[in-house]
Chains A and B, each alone.
Chain A
Amino acid sequence: MPGSAAPPAVDRRRDTYAEASGAAVVNLIAKGITTRDILTKKAFENAITAVMALGGSTNAVLHLLAIAHEADVDLTLEDFHRIGSKVPLLGDLKPFGKYVMTDVDRVGGIPVVLRMLLDAGYLHGDCMTVTGKTMAENLADINPPLADGDVLHPIAKPLSTDVGITILGGSLASDGAVCKTAGIGIETFEGPARVFEREQAAMEALENGTIQAGDVVVIRYEGPKGGPGMREMLMITGAIKGAGLGKSTLLLTDGRFSGGSTGLCVGHVSPEAVDGGPIAFIKDGDIVRIDIPNRRLDLLVDAAELELRKVGWKPLPHKYTRGVLSKYSKLVGSASQGAVCD
């Protein structure tokens, strides 16, 4: 429901939104409006725009790709780059900024951001919504206040015009990788790889103090299929930041991150290790380079040496041979397409 994103869980306005949602769905049926009338390509472009303006997490990439797949909408990683390279960062929000969602609510909520983006031509105002009206009509009804200038910045004075979520390619991520670059302030990084099979090994190294500034921490066999389940790495990214290494190390994984993760972190590296992606062949000490402006993630090892490493290579065996994760690892696709199962 319009305006319902920001009020906190304990806020009784939520009961009002819930009741209104019941009336709204009956109205949609009366008008013959179904989900795919709302979840159009333009609607996904609007969603990406809002995510970028608020400095949203890399999980938005994974989930929007998956929802688009279900809606039969052709959405790709390139759409995130195309939109992300235009949209200014307007929300000063954690984990990189100062405020939380409750603060956004206090200054008028998400409609404040949407109205600014609409007025500046970043949003498609003609998208149908669950109210049976367009997004522009909903915003006109709400008539949200202007940006307060602190929690939410006006378009004329954005927090940043850098790309919020950078979609990477390069020799290590031929099918794509994501890096949350909102508020990061680093363009390139190059260092020796410290390779770990799954997260716990990296966590132990951090606790032992053997991860140093300048290292490229590679955590592999955490992809959708090979993990399985593409684990979030908030444990290790939080600990790295807490240890003061957030901007002096690069973390690289075929797993994913939480919205709470900060620092120089590249996730969703595809193809993943279990599928024989280049990440599977990195060795300790190899030089890895990220170049954010040029959207490249590269392993600086010559091709002949990499071919040698592939001879006789076998992926780590699957961790689960029974139950839901066994089924899942047989069905799940690439993170670069949302890690969907059909």
Chain B
Amino acid sequence: MKPRSGLVTDGLERSPARGMLRAVGMGDEDWVKPQIGVASSWNEITPCNLSLDRLAKASRKGILDAGGFPMQFGTISVSDGISMGHEGMHFSLVSREVIADSVETVMQAERLDGMVMFAGCDKSLPGMMMAAARIDVAAVFVYAGSTLPGQVDGKDVTIIDAFEAVGACARGLITRDRVDEIERAICPGEALVVACTPQTQWQQSEKQLGSHCLDRLRLQL
């Protein structure tokens, strides 16, 4: 059950490593358990990644109940939606390699036996899977899930509508106010925060969003 991590837990020479591992919560009964990396690209930079820490923590229970020892670690991700159309987009595809390399680095250095991976953005999904394929350990990937569409005039709108609205407005086909309306509706991603935070912050979100988005979310949550 420990294809790799015996290298850091077993024998006289690994006493210093065990000392470090004791400080992250491992005890004598844990040395026989497979060590499972829980990799997530959680951050507060993009709505797509907001839920990942919660999901990563949920996976810990599954790992513990099945007889493994979970060890959570993080990697980066960037938002294509935010970096679109300017200098920042140069850094999007390279983030796939950075994610793959960083997950590989942790897994290989620590000799973890398997991993669960959580990601929610375009480049973090393949980046995680590339790492798993590269190091060839037991691995399960879980997607964060897609963003709910927002609504304008009863019609679903997504970030795609906002990009198209820019062109339509530049050609004088729609007004700047209409663009603004779409902008406020497309990404009710704060739902994740709303679902997990106290009432005061809910109210704060309501000010930032079109209230119709949240009405819709209240129904769904």
Pair B140/A242 contact, Cβ less than 8 Å? no
Q: Are B160 and A260 in contact (CB under 8 A)?
A: yes
B63 proximal to A (CB < 8 A) = yes
Given the known A-B contacts A22-B36, A258-B80, A324-B98, are A102 and B90 also in contact in the complex, defined by CB atoms under 8 Å?
no
State whether the Cβ of B125 lies closer than 8 Å to any Cβ in chain A. Answer: yes
CA gap between A71 and B108 in the complex, in Å: 16
Q: CB distance B114 to A28 under 8 Å?
A: yes
Is B67 touching A4 in the complex (CB atoms < 8 A)? no
CB closest residue in chain A, given B34: A29
**A26 and B163 contact, CB distance less than 8 A:** no
Residues of B contacting A224 in the complex (Cβ-Cβ under 8 angstroms): 93
Mark each residue of chain B from 150 to 168: 1 if its CB lies under 8 Å from any CB of chain A, else 0: 0000001011101111111
In contact, A18 and B142 (Cβ under 8 angstroms): yes
- Are A4 and B84 touching (Cβ within 8 A)? no
- A17 and B145 CA atoms in complex are apart in Å by 11
In the complex, whether A239 has a CB less than 8 A from a CB of chain B is yes
Q: Which residue from B38, B67, B85, B115 sits with its C-beta under 8 Å from A234? A: B85
B contact residues, total (Cβ < 8 Å): 89
- B59→A238 contact, CB < 8 A: no
Say which residue of A20, A21, A36, A258 sits within 8 Å of B133 (CB atoms).
A36
Known: A231-B92, A238-B164, A242-B163. A66 touches B51 (CB 8 A): no
B56 touches A18 (CB 8 A): yes
Answer yes or no: B148 CB below 8 A from chain A CBs. yes
Q: Are B55 and A235 in contact (CB under 8 A)?
A: no
Contacts of A234 in B (CB 8 A): 80, 84-85, 160, 163
Count chain A CB atoms within 10 A of each CB in B120, B131, B149 and give the residue with the most.
B149
A142 contacts the other chain (Cβ, under 8 Å)? no
Q: Is the CB of B163 within 8 A of A18?
A: no
Task: Identify the closest chain B residue to A22 (Cβ).
Answer: B62
B20-61 CB contact bits vs A (8 Å, 1 = yes)? 000000000000001010100000000010110011101111
Q: List the B side residues contacting A236 at CB < 8 Å.
A: 85
Give the contacting residue for B90; candidates A8, A14, A101, A231; CB below 8 A.
A231
Residues of A contacting B115 with CB < 8 Å? 25
How far in angstroms is the closest Cβ of chain B from A231? 4
From A10, A36, A71, A238, give the contact of B192 (CB < 8 A).
A10
Asked if B181 lies at the interface with its beta carbon under 8 angstroms from chain A, I say no
Specify which chain B residues have a CB less than 8 angstroms from the CB of A6 in the assembled complex. 146
B177 at the binding interface (Cβ < 8 Å): no
Contact: A36 with B136, CB < 8 Å?
A: yes
Tell me which of A84-92, A116-124, A199-207, A212-220 binds B: A199-207
- Secondary structure type dominating chain B contacts: helix
B36 touches A26 (CB 8 A): yes
A292 contacts B by Cβ under 8 Å: no
- Whether B160 pairs with A94 at a CB distance below 8 angstroms is yes
Knowing A22-B59, A22-B66, A341-B97, the reply to whether A11 touches B126 (Cβ < 8 A) is no
Q: Give chain A nearest CB distance to B72 CB in angstroms.
A: 11
Say yes or no: is A189 at the interface (Cβ < 8 Å to chain B): no
Q: Known contacts A238-B163, A325-B90: does B143 contact A4 (CB below 8 Å)?
A: yes
Out of B59, B80, B136, B167, name the residue touching A243 (CB < 8 Å): B167
Is A29 touching B68 in the complex (CB atoms < 8 A)? Answer: yes
For residue A188, CB closer than 8 A to chain B, the reply is no
* B129 CB–A CB distance under 8 Å: yes
Given A36-B136, A324-B91, A70 and B173 contact (CB-CB distance below 8 Å): no
Which B residues lie within 8 Å of A256 (CB)? 93
* B97 near A242: Cβ-Cβ < 8 Å: no
Contact B140 A25 (CB under 8 A): yes
The 3 A-B residue pairs whose C-beta atoms are closest, nearest first, are A22-B62, A242-B167, A238-B163
- A-B contact list, 28 entries, CB within 8 Å: A1-B142, A9-B145, A9-B146, A10-B192, A15-B58, A18-B58, A18-B59, A19-B58, A21-B142, A22-B66, A24-B62, A25-B68, A26-B67, A26-B114, A29-B3, A34-B137, A34-B138, A39-B129, A59-B122, A70-B133, A100-B146, A102-B149, A200-B86, A235-B86, A236-B85, A239-B163, A242-B163, A244-B171
Besides the known contacts A19-B62, A228-B94, 17 further A-B residue pairs in the complex with CB atoms under 8 A apart? A14-B55, A14-B144, A19-B59, A21-B142, A22-B59, A22-B116, A25-B116, A34-B137, A35-B135, A63-B96, A67-B133, A102-B148, A235-B163, A235-B166, A239-B167, A243-B168, A324-B94
